[in-house]
Amino acid sequence: MNERHDLPRNFREYKEMYTEMFNAFQNGSSLARATGPLDIKTTHLIQMAAAIGAHSEGAVHSHARRALEAGASHEELYQTVNLMISTLGFPAAAAAFSWINDIIKKD
């Protein structure tokens, strides 16, 4: 992974303290992404949906940002949120909507 200064401080500090563990995590993530036919944009949208279900604001931010970098549109991010309403309920989707807006407003 390239060094990114826009990553959360905790993420960067963890990487510094536990480099080997961090690299193993990154390698596992890369391997999972490469083991099938899904393109990188789709994998980040799926991971964003899982992060919404886990109520993980940081992971939603991360996967929304990376989905955009991989070519996702704002509408694709919002559709992913809308798909979560029937599964997770409106409160979870509303929270994710605000988290995605954090990223879109920076974009």
The per-residue pLDDT for 2 is 45
Mean pLDDT, the chain, integer: 91
Q: What are the two backbone dihedrals, phi and then psi, of residue 37, each rounded to the nearest 5 degrees?
A: -85, -5
The structure's pTM equals 0.84
* Structure tokens belonging to residue 64: 């929304």
Res 50: pLDDT = 97
CA dihedral 53, 55, 60, 61 (to 10 degrees): 170
Q: How far apart are CA 66 and CA 17, in angstroms?
A: 24
- Of 81 and 29, which is predicted with more confidence? 81
User: Alpha-carbon torsion 63, 69, 71, 74, what sign?
Assistant: positive
